[in-house]
Amino acid sequence: MNNAAKCILDVDYKIGNIDPRIYGSFIEHLGRAVYGGIYDPGNPLSDENGFRQDVIDLIKELGVTVVRYPGGNFVSGYNWEDGIGPKDKRPTRLELAWRVLETNQFGIDEFALWCRKSNVLPMIAVNLGTRGPDEARNLVEYCNHPGGTYWSDLRIANGSKEPHNCKIWCLGNEMDGDWQIGHKTAYEYGRIACETAKVMKWVDPTIELVACGSSHNGMPTFASWEAEVLEHTYNHVEYLSLHQYFGNSEDDLAEYLAKPVGMDNFIKGVIATCDYVKAKIRSNKTIYLSFDEWNVWFHSWEADSKLAPWQIAPNQLEDIYTMEDALVVGSILITLLKHADRVKMACLAQLVNVIAPIMTETGGSSWRQTIFYPFMHAASYGKGIALNMLVDSPTYESKNFGDVSYLDSVATYNPENDELNIFAVNRNATDSLPIELEIRGLKHNLRVVEHIVLDNPDMKAINSKQQPNCVVPRTESTAKISDSKLTAVLPKLSWNVIRLAPVK
């Protein structure tokens, strides 16, 4: 066993309020995310609208709060008008981002209805690749204006009397990347994003807008892109986006588990850049962060490179996640919570079938991938206030991230029920890790409600249709609390949630 990790937290030392929208996800018109994923007419598990009820139930269990739609790379070539009105009149088009056929049988009206049924907020991206302010303002009018105008009356005629009330909007997607349809320089994007933002807010001043940051922090234009885009858009947007995906194609577990440290650095760099522009333009306004694409993505690369083009809803980006991927996802969630003061929205990309926590068989059943569990735990218990925890843990030397702590951890305090929850990953591959946590500033004594653990002797273990319960959470009994001092043992290579509540 390792030396203990020693930690201190004080309930008054707050990082910030946790915005529930950090537990968001993403549905793109890509692969089987929409068709066969959330929309599968003819499946006995689907409702009268063709929405899979089994998937809606899993999404509720996962605790997703917001869903970004319709892309992703897809949105940069999308005509939203193709997806409204009678389904037999909707065009099938060549979809250039993913080289497939798009039938448009699912569009904005179906998505808005599906969001209501799934109890999630919509986050809508507009096309700033091939299109611009005109189509974007029309879409806001279609979705949010009550009636009496061309586009709002068309929505009513299409069956939605009440406005969809979409309040969160993304100004395009990954516009810094040359893979994007209509890729732009920071100047070109900054200008069109500014003009689009203006007219969207003139249609509905209550909406919130996200400008595109870099596609990831390895982009050659990272940071200068953010600075230039914000110089054009600062007064018109509330959020700047971040995207990042992680992989382990080198099959180096220690390095893989350290990668969320790079995500932490990325977030710090974006905060610094937002605040640089704030200082430069002498603004009192703070820009918040929307980490609206994050996940592990690499298992499906090879299969996708061999896919024949122009199919309808092929098996694309269908990563099958392992135990080690679940640990990385756990660390990513911890990282987001550690930045609760600035990261106010985040989307696990994606939600169903496409690099997703939920898998389905088109026409058949559904199951939970390994990464489902850390997300579900964070969304259920990571509520209220994120707390600053001092951590003194044994470390290991990584190739790219310096000395990395074996213990990755954050605490949250929910003032509504006085629960204190500790989220922790033990990165040690050979040993369990004892922790000793001193809790200060609470007016009542605490008891251990439960210590949830996700681990497995096989780091490559997966869940599948045949074996859906290979990697599932269990409970541990090592956690004890006395005199505000918590002790527990975190098994090697494990995700942990230690739930504490007031003694009754």
* Shortest Å, Cβ 346 to ligand AHR: 14
Per-residue HEC secondary structure of 6-36 comes to: EEEEEEEEEEEECCHHHHEEECCCCCCCCEC
* 9 token code pair: 């937290």
The DSSP call for residue 379 is H
Within 13 Å, how many C-alpha atoms sit on residue 25's CB side?
27
Q: Which is nearer to ligand AHR, 102 or 174 (CB)?
A: 174
> Which residue among 174, 226, 238, 324 is the active-site one?
174
- Taking CB positions, which residue lies at the least distance from ligand AHR? 72
Q: Which is nearer to ligand AHR, 173 or 366 (CB)?
A: 173
> Which residue among 226, 293, 324, 419 is the active-site one?
293
Q: Which is nearer to ligand AHR, 72 or 491 (CB)?
A: 72
* Shortest Å, Cβ 250 to ligand AHR: 21
Q: Which is nearer to ligand AHR, 107 or 382 (CB)?
A: 107
Contacts with ligand AHR, residue ranges (CB under 6 A): 28, 71-73, 173-174, 293, 349-350
**φ, ψ dihedrals at 185, nearest 5°:** -75, 170
Structural Rg of the chain based on CA atoms:
23
* Shortest Å, Cβ 353 to ligand AHR: 12
Q: Which is nearer to ligand AHR, 293 or 325 (CB)?
A: 293
Q: Which is nearer to ligand AHR, 44 or 220 (CB)?
A: 220
* Shortest Å, Cβ 310 to ligand AHR: 18
Q: Which is nearer to ligand AHR, 35 or 406 (CB)?
A: 35
CB–CB of 24/68 below 8 Å?
yes
β-bridge partners, 8:
390, 438
Looking at residue 211, its amino acid is: A
The DSSP call for residue 322 is B
The DSSP call for residue 298 is -
Looking at residue 139, its amino acid is: L
Beta-carbon neighbour count of residue 400 at 10 Å?
A: 10
* Shortest Å, Cβ 372 to ligand AHR: 17
* 87 token code pair: 């389904």
Is 174 tagged catalytic? yes
Q: Which is nearer to ligand AHR, 37 or 71 (CB)?
A: 71
In the sheet that 485-490 helps form, which strands lie side by side, from edge to edge?
474-476, 446-454, 494-502, 419-426, 407-414, 385-392, 5-17, 433-440, 485-490, 480-482
Is 318 tagged catalytic? no
* Shortest Å, Cβ 194 to ligand AHR: 21
The Cα 72–Cα 105 span in angstroms is 18
Residue of 371, 319, 325, 461 lying closest to 32 (CA atoms): 319
* Shortest Å, Cβ 464 to ligand AHR: 22
* 88 token code pair: 């037999």
CB–CB of 210/239 below 8 Å?
yes
Beta-carbon neighbour count of residue 473 at 10 Å?
A: 18
* Shortest Å, Cβ 24 to ligand AHR: 13
Strands (E), 258-384: 288-296, 343-348, 358-360, 366-368
The DSSP call for residue 365 is -
Residues serving a catalytic function are 174, 293
